[in-house]
Structure 1
C-alpha cells in the first residue's frame, strides 16, 4: 500500500489537487479554477478551460477497473451519445486518447484519468438521503425509466468494439463465490441469524435467476447506478451521469437499483409506478419481468453489503452499515416469502 492511503482525508485531498493540476497538462488548453467536487473512491474535479468550457476531470481509484475496461466505458458513452441519449461528452486527451495514465510522486501508484464535458443541472438527491423534497416524482422517475429503456434497447443492437471489456452483474457477479463487490455473507457485523437469512436468499436466487434466464430482451449493458445523485435535472430534461459501475446485467437489476434508495420514501409506490410506466412505454415489461422485482431488490441489497465488507473502517461504510444491513435483511425476507 502506498503512503497516500495512510494519509488522512484532508492530506489526500491536498495531494489529489496537485495531481489534478499535473494531469490537466495532458489535454489541450489552459485550465484554471480547479476544485474538488466528489471524492469517495474516484476523485472528480471541476475545472474551467480558458475558452470558458467547464470540464470534469476524473481520477480513477487504483485497481478497480483496468485500462481496457475504462476505455470501454467511454466508448459506450460515445455510442449512447451518437444514439441521441444525453450523457457527458468525452473530451479526449492529446493524441485522441480516451484516457491517460498519469504518475505523480504525490500519489505513489499511477492513476487512470479522463475528462468529460460538464453537464448542467441539479442532482435529484443523494443515496444517503434519497430524492430531494419538492422534486416532481412522476416526471423524474418516468424519465429515468424511459432513459433506462432506451439504453437497454440501444445495447441490444449495438456492435461492441472487439476489445470491449466490462464486469458483469450476472449470477457469478451477484451471488457467486467471489461476487464483484465482495462476499457479502462474510460481513462481520451480521448476526448468525442474519447471515443464514442471506444465505437462504442467495440459494433461492440462484434457482430463480436460472429460471428467468438471460437473453437480449432482459440482459445486456446497463448503467447499474441510477441513484438520485446520478440523475441531473435541468428544466424539462433529465440527464444521466457516472457510468463507473456500468456493466452487463439484467434490465430489472437496473430498475431495482433506481428504487433501492427510495424504499423508505413515503412516496415509494408513486416512484415505483412512475419508473415502471416510463420504462414500459419505451420497452414493454412482461409479467415475468415485473415478478422479478423482489428478487433484484434483494440482490441489489446484498451488493451494498459486499461493498461495505470490502471497505471496512471507511467513514462511508461505518455510517451506512446499520441501514444497509437492516434493509438487505428486510428485502431478503420479503423475497423469500414471495417464493414460498
Structure 2
C-alpha cells in the first residue's frame, strides 16, 4: 500500500471522508456527505444532523492520545459547560460513548472519532493566513480572549478531575526535555548548523529557568494549550474556545503566549498584548512579576511550533509555515539570550 502519509492532501482527504461516513454509523447517521473543514494532524468535517442542525466530526491523529486521555479531554469540556463556560457541546454516540474508534481500507490505523455541536460564528483567523478581516475591534476581541483564558484557568483551579483523569504535561520535560511533546525541535532538518547551536543554547537556558520557577499552583494547572486563531470563535462580540485536543497541565503564561505570539513584530502586537493582559486581569490575578516571564513563554511556544512542523511534515500547513517558524524561533532565541533572561526567575 502507498504510504498514507506521503500521498497528496486531496487523496488523504478522500480517504478520511470515507472514514467519516463509516464512523457516522455509530451515531445512526446515514445519507450524509461530510464536508471537509480542515485536515492537519486531525481531520474535521461538518455534518448535517437529522434535526437540521450541524455538527463537527473530528477524526484524531493516530497515536497522539490514549483512549483515557481523550476521555479526559471530553470530560473537562463537559465540566466547563456545566460551569457555564461556553464550549462545544459533545454529542455522544448511540451507545452513550463520548467517542468511538473506526477504520476503513486505505487509512492504515483505526482512529478515535468524536462529535460536537457546530458553533455558529467565525474563527479569529488561521495560522496560515493570520487574523481575519472580520474581527473588527481588535482590542475588544482580544480583551475577551484574555477573559476567556482566565475563566478556563479559574475553573481548572477549583475543579476536581475524576480519579482516572489523565492528560499530558506542558512542563519542563514536555517543553525542553529530550522528548518534548511535539518533538525534538532542535533536530528540524531545515535548520543550519548555526541555527541549531543557537536553539540548543536557548533550550538549555530555558530549561534552567523552568527548573528554578517550578510548578506553583497559582500559575500552573490545566490549560487549553492551543489558543491560536483557528481555535477561537467570535460570535456576536463573544469568544468561544474550541479544539481542546492539546489541553494538558502547564503554566498559564503558555496560554497567554499562544494567543499573542503570531502578532510579534507587527503593528498590532502592542494592542493585542495589552488587551489580552487587561482581559485576563478582569477575571484572574496576574502579577507584574509573573508577566515579566512572557519572553520565556514566547520562546517556549515557538519551540513547540518548530517541533510541530518537524513531526507533522506530511501536512500542508507545516510546509507553508516552516520558513516563518524558523525565522521566529531564531529571533526569539537571540532576543532571549541577549537580554540575559536566562537568569533564574519566578512566577
**Is TM-score (shorter-chain normalized) higher than 0.5?**
yes
Moved more, 273-282 or 312-321: 312-321
CA distance in structure 1 between the aligned counterparts of 2:58 and 2:259, rounded to whole angstroms: 23
Given that residues 232 and 240 in structure 1 are in contact (C-alpha distance below 8 angstroms), is that contact kept between their aligned partners in structure 2?
Answer: yes
**C-alpha distance in 2 between matches for 1:117 and 1:60:** 17
CA contact (8 A) 2:21 2:33 kept: no
Kept in 1, the 8 Å contact 2:257–2:294? The answer is yes
- 1:286 corresponds in structure 2 to 287
Which deviates further from its counterpart, 10-19 or 178-187?
10-19
Distance 2:5 2:323 in 1: 25
Aligned-partner Cα distance in 1 for 2:329–2:143 = 26
- State how far apart, in whole Å, the 1-side matches of 2:103 and 2:27 are: 15
Is 2:83 the partner of 1:79? no
Q: Unpaired segments of 5 or more residues in structure 1?
A: none
Paired with 1:266 and 1:13, the residues of 2 have a C-alpha distance of 37
Query: The residue matched to 1:317 in structure 2 has which SS?
Result: helix
Q: What is the rounded CA distance, in whole Å, between the counterparts of 2:155 and 2:142 in structure 1?
A: 20
Which residue of structure 1 aligns with residue 60 of structure 2?
60
Show the counterpart of 1:198. Answer: 199
Hey, what's the Cα distance between the residues in 1 that align with 2:89 and 2:98?
Answer: 11
Residue 148 (structure 2) aligns with? 147
Distance 1:4 1:206, change over 3 A: closer
Query: Which has the larger displacement, 290-299 or 309-318?
Result: 309-318
Tell me the CA shift for residue 314 of structure 1.
4.3
In the alignment, is the contact (CA less than 8 A) between 1:31 and 1:47 conserved in 2? no
Inter-partner Cα distance in structure 1 for 2:304 and 2:327? 14
CA RMSD in angstroms, aligned pairs only: 1.7
Query: Which position in structure 2 is the counterpart of 1:326?
Result: 327
Aligned residues: 340
Q: How does 1:259-338 map to 2 (within 5 A)?
A: 259-312=260-313, 314-338=315-339
TM-score w.r.t. the length of structure 1 is: 0.95
Judged with a 3 Å threshold, the aligned counterparts in structure 2 of structure 1 residues 63 and 217 are, in CA distance, closer, same or farther, namely: same
1:4 and 1:332 map into 2 onto residues whose CA distance is 35
Give, in angstroms, the shift of residue 14 of structure 1.
1.5
**Superimposed CA distance per residue, residues 197-238 of structure 1 (whole angstroms, 9 cap, x where no aligned partner):** 111211111221122221221011111111111111111211
Match of 1:179 in 2: 180
Q: Is the 8 A contact 2:226 2:247 kept in 1?
A: yes
Instruction: Confirm or deny: 8 A CA contact 1:32 1:50 kept in the other structure.
Output: no
Q: How does 1:210-289 map to 2 (within 5 A)?
A: 210-289=211-290
How far 1:248 sits from its partner (Å)? Answer: 0.7
Structure 1 residue 243: Cα displacement: 0.8
CA distance in 1, matches of 2:262, 2:149: 17
Deviation at 1:29, TM superposition (A): 4.8
5 Å matches for 1:11-26? 11-26=11-26
Q: Does 1:209 align with 2:177?
A: no
> How far apart are residue 2 of structure 1 and its match?
7.3
Residue 7 of structure 1, CA deviation: 3.1
Q: Distance in 2 between matches of 1:72 and 1:118?
A: 21
Q: Give the match for residue 44 of structure 1.
A: 44
Provide the rounded CA distance (Å) in 1 between the counterparts of 2:208 and 2:140.
36
- The TM-score with structure 2 as length reference comes to 0.93
Task: Write the deviation string for residues 278-330 of structure 1: whole angstroms up to 9, x where unpaired.
Answer: 00111111122111100000011111111122234643323222111110111
SS at match of 1:91: coil
CA contact (8 A) 1:166 1:246 kept: yes
